[in-house]
Every structure is written in structure tokens, then in C-alpha cells.
Amino acid sequence: MTKALIVIDVQNDFCPGGALAVPDGDQVVAPINAMMAGFETVILTQDWHPAGHSSFASAHPGRGPFDTTEMPYGQQVLWPDHCVQGSAGSAFHPDLRTDGDLIIRKGFRPQVDSYSAFFENDQTTPTGLEGYLRTRGISELTLVGLALDFCVAFSAMDARRLGFSVNLPQNACRAIDLDGSLATQIENMRQKGVIIT
């Protein structure tokens, strides 16, 4: 069985001082760097929004960060402006090892957010990661990074739906935990067969 490590969104805006800081987000860097040597294939993802993206609260007059709104594809949390393409906040954490095999960027379509590394939030538009993994014979994934209850969780559950086996070491993840989202997503992931350690 060929394995890959998928490092989700370890970017400055999700670390302390960033626009959408995940508590202790920078604490994932050291364990992730240490894990990389154990994988033949390392893939990193990068949240990569155009300015004025529809997931930004600033694009919705009268709404604020962390409100939810109805999009054509379903419910969407509105976020502070973050990970704008090419900004300092969109860069990987400076201490993260980025000498992986592939960098997948997501969330670049103005009208659709993309938490998952596999599908955008409409749950149908693919990023291409599935094809990359399959054509390389990879069937077992370890997912780490930020945020555990959003992009990591959505990626993990999509991976299960696609038939990959999925490991999720919590020590290399941190959560936003919006209204109990961490506990909810841990339970959702367990039910879908994600192995959480």
C-alpha cells in the first residue's frame, strides 16, 4: 500500500497573528516537519482566494465574520478576509518544510469556497487531487494541518467517500472550534471511518 502525507493549509493567516488565526496553529509545524521523512509522497494544500472572495464577510454588506449565509451550494460560514492570493498571509508558515511533491491550491473560484482538498464546497467540482493520488497508486492517506474542524475534516471525509484509508493524528492538527464544530466534526469523521489518533 502506497502512502501519502497531506498537509492542509499551514499558512500564515491560520497561525497566531494571522487574519483567521487558529489557536496554537503554529504548533503543528514541528510535528509535521518531523513526519515528512516517513512518507514517500508529501502533498501540501494552500487556501488561495482572490480578493473579494464570496466566502469573505466583507463581500456581504451588513454581515460579519463567522455569520453564516446561504449560498447556491448550501450553508457557508463567512470568514474574515484571509489567504488572499500572493499576500504574506497566504504564504506557508516560514518554518514549514515545503519540499513536497505537489502543492494543491483551492478556493480560487470567486463564487465557491473550497474547504476540502478534493472537492469545492459544492461537493462536485474536483481539485484533481483524487486523480493524482490514483494514478500514483496511493491508497492510504495521513492528513495533518489546519483547521482540524474545517479543511482537514472536509478533506478527510471526502477521502473516505472516495475509498482512501485515512489517518488523522490530532497532535499535528489544530481547530477553530466555532460553536462546537470540533466535537461535531470529530464524531462525523469517526462515523465515516477516519482513524483519529
Active site residues: 9, 106, 151
Task: List contacts with ligand VGL (CB under 6 A).
Answer: 9, 14, 47, 79, 115, 146-147, 150-151
* 86 contact partners, CB below 8 Å, separation of at least 6: none
* Residue 158: contacted member of Zn ion, ligand VGL, none (CB under 5 to 8 Å, by partner type): none
CB 192 within 8 A of CB 165: no
User: Three-class SS of residue 41?
Assistant: strand
**Binding window for Zn ion (CB under 5 A); candidates: 23-31, 46-54, 63-71, 178-186:** 46-54
Tell me whether residue 35 or residue 146 sits nearer to Zn ion (CB atom). 146
Q: What does 151 interact with, of Zn ion, ligand VGL, none (CB < 5 to 8 A by kind)?
A: ligand VGL
Q: How far is the CB of 8 from ligand VGL (least distance, A)?
A: 6
CB 153 to ligand VGL: min, Å = 8
149 binds Zn ion, rule: CB under 5 A = no
- Rounded-to-5 percentages of helix, strand, coil across the chain: 30, 25, 45
DSSP H or E run through 189: helix 181-191
Cβ neighbors of 27 (< 8 A, separation 6 or more) are 174
* Closer by beta carbon to Zn ion, 35 or else 176: 176
- Which CB sits closer to ligand VGL, 39 or 79? 79
119 interacts with, out of ligand VGL, Zn ion, none, CB within 5 to 8 A per kind: none
Query: Of the two residues 23 and 38, which places its CB atom closer to ligand VGL in the complex?
Result: 23
- Tell me how far, at minimum, the Cβ of 135 lies from ligand VGL, in Å: 26
Element (H, E) at 46: strand 41-47
Under rule CB under 5 A, residue 47 binds Zn ion:
yes
Binding status of residue 13 toward Zn ion by CB under 5 A: no
Quick one: what does residue 118 bind among Zn ion, ligand VGL, none, with the CB cut-off 5 to 8 Å set by partner type? Answer: none
CA gap 35, 93 in Å, rounded: 16
The candidate with the shortest Cα–Cα distance to 79, out of 13, 175, 164, 136, is: 13
Determine the Cα–Cα distance for residues 61 and 49; give it in Å rounded to an integer.
19
